[in-house]
Chain A
Amino acid sequence: MAKDELKSGYKLIGTRPNRPDGLDKVTGRARYGADFSLPGMLHAAVVRSPHAHARIKNIDVSKALALDGVKAVVTRADLPTGLSGEDLNLQDNTLAGDRVLYDGHAVAAVAATSALLAKDAARLIAVEYEILPHVTDVDAAMAPGAPVIREGVADYSVPEGMHPNVARYMAFGHGDLEAGLAAADIVREHTYKTEATHQGYIEPHACVGQMGEDGRGEMWVCTQGHWYIRRMCAAVLGIEAANLRVTPSEIGGGFGGKTTIFIEPLALALSKKAGGRPVKLVMTRSEVLRATGPTASASMDVKLGMKRDGTITAGQVFFRMQGGAFVGMSPIGEALPCAFACYDIPALKHEAVEVIANRPKAAAYRAPGSPMAAFAVESLVDEMCRELGLDPIEVRLKNGAKNGSRSSYGPDYTVIGLQETLEAAKAHPNYKVPLGPNQGRGVASGFWFNHGGETSVSLAVGEDGTATVSIGTPDIGGSRASIGLMVAEFLGIPYENVRVSVVETGALGVNEPTHGSRATFASGKAAVEAARQAVAEMCRRAAADWGIDPDAVEWKDGAAHPAGPNAGKFPPMSIGEIGAKMGSTGGPISGHHEVTAEGVGASFGTHVVDVEVDPETGRTTVLRYLVVQDAGTAIHPAYVEGQYQGGAVQGIGWALNEEYVYGADGRLQNPVFLDYRVPVASDLPMIDTVIVEVPNPGHPYGVRGVGETGITPPLPAIAAAVAGATGARIRSLPLSPPKVLAAIKAAKG
């Protein structure tokens, strides 16, 4: 369906109605993962490794089982064998086998009649370890002599001669790199590093699992994707997917970290061993930080050639990323194509390796890989702009990707909005504010692919002319409101007459999680198609009532109308009238659509930030922050702005404060929010936003995903602003006060 079919005089799209979940959330009625309780429910606790790398010599659970009120204990011996590939990875991470691979790796779990008793019982489980050498730094993990974490992890892609901890290798590019570099007036090359950061969702992982001895079970869980929970738990536990029904709760943030399993199979396995009693398992914040997916840490070499007029002639990157002790978790496959995605450069070479290290199994985090890649490439672009005295937006306009230009990863772009974001940033008042002493300005652009994916949606017309929509993508950022607006727009009825619900795994076909900025795009696209089916049926019912051909009926303003003078003269038949008598005109009226959604529109954004750095302490204060991003069409602009602001704040945290700090013993030193410092509202000014709308031809209303790109530019933009404020370029994140202070002192000599 062409976008233009619907792009005319929207009545609801682009408005800002109240969010449907707002009242429940502000009054505490919304049910999150830990809010579920069932009669006879047990509580569970997990025993975790205190070592970064160790062999498990023995696990003695006898004292725990002897405690009154303890109903079940599970270890790896209780899980099926014979798994391979990612299923084995999931099982290995759920419960360690013969070795623990990181500080916090789960070793055993216990269920008891109270949470306190479960914790006491967990302390009575005696695990005997033989400590092994460990490595946590990405560069150290592939250096000669580094301890080998797991044998045989390298796949087909790894060239001979690399360290055994190197699991994957990738390379691509185009053009003549050497000729491109030779054509430049200056060539610069630096190494940039980013630390692992956590998604930092406010709601810890939580679930209630119930499973009988027959292997049939149910789960209530906080997740971005309950079909993924079903599939992964079934694989780890060796049961059939159809035997597990999974219902999602409201979700207090995910950002990619809740697209996989951590504790869920443990609750089910404990329930089965406890005779089918339901088991609740809620992680502490410390467990979340130690044992659930942070993002990868990265070490990145970048080389660029630039002419004095700002033309970029060639670019080269070599990225090294670790995603924990499990293969396939570092985002090299995303980071590399994102690295130069904002540019049209004639010669490029990309290389990357994935390295394993004794850290937790990384999970996706908002535009996986793109923020690190942007930090490396955009930082060097900024350094060269400053060296040549060039305006950073003008250089990006000169070299930036446009409609039809060849992307850095191969295919030509279709309809994109990068140039529009740059022009809007250039024209914004923030870009013209004079800077004072110790203040600096940074500019950076960012990219994310966006994603469609497996999607199934149903819509039913009510007897009173309302509509209910069942979707399978948990609502994290306002997708229920946005989908409701699109359906109401299509049906021609008030927004308040549409209710959108996230339903359990038994109610729809398989849905991918809410990831890849896909929920409003893909579930919205499918919901519009489901509404189209329902409208066709309503037109058919009206035609039958009028005794005319269905093709002679058109739908507008929430009612069937005779289409043209030859169709006869009948008063419009509203959705309410059709719904009221549908039982006697053929039965329920509904629509259903399922698809692997394609047609995603690539997403680009440009950020401008001003900071002030205290030269006495090295502390950075964000003075003003501007996000400009292409939304395609902003269905509910307040939610779009919220995504822009949230992404920027997470990126600011990554740039200024957040990092995983490991001690020499390989243990995480800062597994609480007091020491792992995420930005809070009082740290920041209001984030200014500009929504650019370059409609995506692949969506009936022109939607592009907006959830991820916003986290990408802050890392290089903040680093550039700090460099402007201090004269000191820092090429490793975070820009913590001690690091900035040391850089200021070093710059002063």
Chain B
Amino acid sequence: MAKVHLWSSLRRFADGQEVVEVEAATVGQALDALVKAHPGLEPAVKAGVSVAVDGEVIANNRAAAVAPDSEVYLLQRLKGG
């Protein structure tokens, strides 16, 4: 199961958990599984998030691969100048 790390102000929408384990092969599946497990996270995910998968920042790609032992960090959607 991939481990999805939530930033601390999101944890109140996930029963206080810092890490949520999900079955997912892609970033999109991981986000969908996260919302299914904790519907309170839907506004945050819908507002747009970036992720880091095993150290690699994925700004906006639901198809990016996630491995069973991946560490996934949610980040605010990143912009550039």
A and B: bona fide binding partners: yes
Pair A451/B76 contact, Cβ less than 8 Å: no
Interface set, chain A 318-374, CB cutoff 8 A to B: 331-334, 336-337, 351, 364-368
Complex-state Cα separation, A600 to B7, whole angstroms: 22
Partner pick for B78 among A173, A257, A334, A454, CB 8 A cutoff: A334
Instruction: Confirm or deny: A412 has a beta carbon within 8 angstroms of a beta carbon on chain B.
Output: yes
| A409 beta carbon closer than 8 Å to chain B | yes
CB pair B43 A451 closer than 8 Å: no
Closest residue on chain A to residue B80 by CB atoms: A516
Q: CB < 8 Å: which of B54, B64, B75, B80 contacts A368? A: B80
Q: List 17 A-B contacts (CB under 8 A).
A: A155-B47, A170-B76, A171-B8, A171-B9, A172-B8, A257-B81, A331-B79, A333-B79, A334-B78, A364-B80, A364-B81, A410-B73, A412-B54, A412-B55, A598-B64, A599-B56, A600-B57
Q: Does A596 contact B (CB under 8 A)?
A: yes
Q: Mark B1-18, 1 if CB is under 8 A from A, else 0.
A: 000010111100100000
Q: Indicate whether B58 reaches chain A with its CB closer than 8 angstroms.
A: yes
A173/B43 in contact, CB under 8 A: no
Q: Is the CB of A515 within 8 A of B79?
A: yes
| Cα separation A411 to B63 with both chains bound (whole Å) | 19
Given contact pairs A411-B54, A411-B73, A173 touches B8 in the complex (Cβ within 8 A): yes
Contacts of B77 in A (CB 8 A): 333
Report if A546 contacts B (CB, 8 A). Answer: no
Main secondary structure of the interface of A (DSSP, over half): loop
Q: What is A's interface to B at a CB cutoff of 8 Å?
A: 155-157, 169-173, 199, 255-257, 259, 331-334, 336-337, 351, 364-368, 409-414, 448-454, 515-518, 596, 598-600, 602, 698, 707-708
How many Å lie between the Cα of A413 and that of B43 in the bound state? 29
Once bound together, how far apart are the Cα atoms of A218 and B57, in whole Å? 36
Chain B residue, CB-CB nearest to A336: B76
Q: Are A453 and B59 CB-contacts (below 8 A) given A255-B81, A364-B81, A515-B79?
A: yes
Q: Which of B10, B44, B78 contacts A451 (CB 8 A)?
A: B78
Structural contact, A411 and B9, CB atoms closer than 8 A: no
| Minimum C-beta distance from B49 to chain A (A) | 9
Contacts A255-B81, A336-B76, A366-B81 aside, 5 further interface pairs with beta carbons under 8 A come to: A157-B10, A333-B79, A411-B71, A449-B57, A517-B80
Which residues of A are found within 8 Å of B64, using beta-carbon distances? 598
Which of B53, B55, B60, B73 is in CB contact (< 8 Å) with A453? B60
**Closest chain A residue to B47, Cβ basis:** A155
Roughly how many angstroms separate A351 CA and B9 CA in the complex, as a whole number?
A: 9
Q: Is the pair A452, B59 in contact by a Cβ cutoff of 8 Å?
A: yes
Query: Which of chain A's residues has its CB closest to B81's CB?
Result: A256
Whole-angstrom distance between the alpha carbons of A413 and B8 in the complex? Answer: 20
Alpha-carbon gap, A172 to B52, bound state (A): 15
Q: How far is the CB of A473 from chain B (nearest CB, A)?
A: 12
CA distance A412 to B81 in the complex (A): 24
Contact B79 A411 (CB under 8 A): no
Q: Give the number of chain B interface residues (Cβ < 8 Å).
A: 30
Compute how far the CA of A63 lies from the CA of B64 in the bound complex, rounded to whole angstroms.
58
Q: By the criterion CB–CB under 8 Å, are A451 and B80 in contact?
A: yes
Q: How far is the CB of A107 from chain B (nearest CB, A)?
A: 28
CB of B9 within 8 A of CB of A172, answer yes
Closest residue of B by beta carbon distance from A328: B47
B78 CB contacts on chain A under 8 angstroms: 333-334, 449, 451, 516
**When A596-B61, A600-B57 are in contact, do A410 and B80 touch as well, CB less than 8 Å?**
no
Closest to A411 in B: B52
Most chain-A Cβ atoms within 10 A of its Cβ — which of B7, B43, B57, B61?
B57
Residues of A within 8 A of B55 (CB): 411-414
> Which residue on chain B has the smallest CB distance to residue A448?
B80
- B44 CB to nearest A CB, Å: 6
* Cα(A599)–Cα(B61), bound, Å: 12
Closest chain A CB from B43 CB (angstroms): 4
For B49, give the chain A residue with the smallest CB separation. Answer: A333
A133 to chain B, nearest CB (A): 29
CA distance in complex: A450, B76 (Å): 14
Q: For residue B28, give the distance in angstroms from its CB to the closest CB of chain A.
A: 12
Q: Which residues of A contact B7 (CB under 8 A)?
A: 170-172, 410
Contact of A256 among B63, B76, B80 (CB under 8 A): B80
Known: A364-B81, A598-B56, A598-B58. A334 touches B76 (CB 8 A): yes
Residue of B nearest to A370 (CB): B81
Would you call A169 and B76 a contact (CB within 8 A)?
A: no
Complex contact A367–B56 (CB within 8 A) = no
Q: How far is the CA of A412 from the CA of B8 in the complex (A)?
A: 18
Whether A516 contacts B61 by the Cβ 8 Å rule is: no
Q: Which residues of B contact A172 (CB under 8 A)?
A: 7-9
Chain A proximity of B50: nearest CB distance (Å): 9
A365 touching B81 in the complex, CB below 8 Å, given contacts A157-B44, A412-B55, A451-B59: yes
Partner of B81, one of A171, A454, A516, A698: A516
